[in-house]
Amino acid sequence: MKHWEWPAGCGLGILVYLIWRGVDLTPLLAIGGALLLLFMLTQGRFRSLETLGGQNLSRSESGIGFDDIGGQEVAKRELLEALDFVCDVNRTKALGIRPLKGILLTGPPGTGKTLLAKAASSYTDSVFVAASGSEFIEMYAGVGAQRVRQLFTKARQLAARAGKQSAIIFVDEIEVIAGQRGSHSSHLEYDQTLNQLLVEMDGLKPNEAVKILVIAATNRADLLDPAILRPGRFDRQVKVDLPDREGRLHILKIHAKDKPLADEVSLEEIAKDTFGFSGAHLESLVNEAAILAFRKERTAIGMEEFRESIDKVMMGEKLERRPQPDELRRVAVHETGHAMVSELLRPESVATLTVIPRGKALGFMRQTQTEEQYLYTREYLEDQIAICLGGAMAEELVYGNWSTGSANDFEQATAIARQMLKTGLTRLGIIHEELAGREQMHEVVTEIMEAQKVRVRELLQRKESFFREVIDDLLEREKVSGEWFRERLQCA
């Protein structure tokens, strides 16, 4: 007989006796129900440690290795160096090295931070326990701190049950519970949760039966409390950035290895055309290309599907709505203006030109970047402003004015001009934004924009006859490639 059956039986017998005696049990039942509900809300969820993070708090055999992660060679090297302290315990002790307690992975979303943490557990033969920062926060005081304690306890229990000597605790969205203390004025629940995490990390000892390494991920490292970043807690910060061209090619090869590709497919070209894509974007790109091939009932994925998928991942699905003929022509004028200026200033920079609506855009011109670039000169930024203004100036050339479709272009151009101000690339030289006058800064930005408007007008007027021919062809074809546009431009 189970241990709870005797009390339950006695309680039920007492209730039956009281009812037989005619006692009104309504107030007692109401109070008991309220206490039971309160218990379930505040404590019942924590009676089983499996509830925190659901299945994530069970032993995880991810099967993911570092060879399965592309585009993050620097991050993998930094992480492997830290993990070797966990693997080679005897050598670590001989050299008197204190094993690292925590590693913080920082970088944009979709760059592979979670995959790196899973690969770390496989590399060190550790139990992998994962939770999200949002899972620790409740409206009741003390709940977050209790969950932190349970997380570390559970990691030790799972490792002991599995016969492992180490466990990796992965906390995603760490900024939720590790934000700067005192920034939450409503209550101290966030601060208590962070304090408990600090206590648990300080309590990690190298001579424990189960060694625990905490790996956290965030894309907002600027929000973290300084106490969590000091040595002895998160000892290492590993930057997991967007992949470069070689990294993108590696990621594409990983995701495309089990998919039938047509002979015409060039992953190198796709990698070149996907500047700024994260690993998650590239995985979605390959998957969308396979879906398109499936829809077209093809047995292999071709370049057409990949090019279509690049546009879809960047801009969204094609829309059923179609602009009116006069609006569609204005869209064609606008996008052709962007393409013309881009190709004249940066040859081979146009990848695709289309008037097919996608997402919020009625049409778009997609640029390609032939080389990775991390530093920008004044000339480069001025060219980029000119490309942004190309659409509006093209509309002005044809219609005498521009439309609201240029609003986003103006925002981008203004942001680039402000970047020039911040970096001392204007006639004002090196300035401090807060000390410089707003009117003076506005005047300089206006000068930059006006100078580029004049420049763009001259470029478009020089090729006006070709410009109008391309508009007609684009309306007929709806979508053209950069190669087609360059061939026409060379013949003009």
Residue 457 belongs to some domain of the structure: yes
Tens of pLDDT, residues 361-403: 788 888 876 566 778 899 999 999 999 999 999 999 999 999 9
Tell me the CATH number at 299: 1.10.8.60
Is the residue at 86 inside a domain?
A: yes
pLDDT at 184: 59
Q: Is residue 7 part of a domain?
A: no
CB 286 within 8 A of CB 252: yes
Question: Is pLDDT at 164 greater than 60 in this prediction?
Answer: yes
Of 283, 315, 347, the residue that ends a domain is 315
CATH number at residue 465: 1.20.58.760
Same-domain pairing of 274 and 335: no
Residue 1 forms part of a structural domain = no
Stretch 279-306: mean pLDDT: 93
Q: Are residues 142 and 222 in the same domain?
A: yes
3-state DSSP assignment of residue 371: coil
Give yes or no: residues 387 and 362 share one domain.
yes
> Which range, of 3-7, 27-31, 117-121, 479-483, averages the lowest pLDDT?
3-7
Count of positions (residues) in the chain: 492
Residue 106 has pLDDT above 50, yes or no: yes
- Which residue, 239, 272, 295, sits at the end of a domain? 239
Q: Give the end of a domain, one of 266, 296, 315.
A: 315
271 and 166 part of one domain: no
Say whether both 54 and 199 belong to one domain. Answer: yes
94: exposed, middle or buried (Cβ count in 10 Å: 0-12, 13-18, 19+): exposed
As annotated, the active-site residues are 335
What's the CATH code of the domain at 109? Answer: 3.40.50.300
Distance between CA 43 and CA 150 in Å, rounded?
13
pLDDT above 60 for 148: yes
Same domain, 58 and 206: yes
| Same structural domain, 53 and 197 | yes
> How far is 412 from 452, CA to CA, in rounded Å?
14
For residue 164, give Cα distances in angstroms to 155, 167, 400.
11, 8, 74
> Do 253 and 166 fall into the same domain?
no
- The residue segments making up the domain with residue 163 are 49-239
Helix H or strand E segment including 102:
strand 102-106
* 17 falls within a domain: no
pLDDT above 50 (res 443): yes
Average pLDDT score, the chain: 83
Residues 142 and 162 in one domain: yes
Please report whether residue 65 resides in a domain. Answer: yes
Question: Do 216 and 100 belong together in one domain?
Answer: yes
Number of domains in the chain: 3
* 369 lies in the same domain as 471: yes
- Taking 90 as the threshold, does the pLDDT of residue 447 lie above it? yes
Residues 253, 235: one domain? no
Tell me how far the alpha carbon of residue 264 is from its chain's centroid.
31
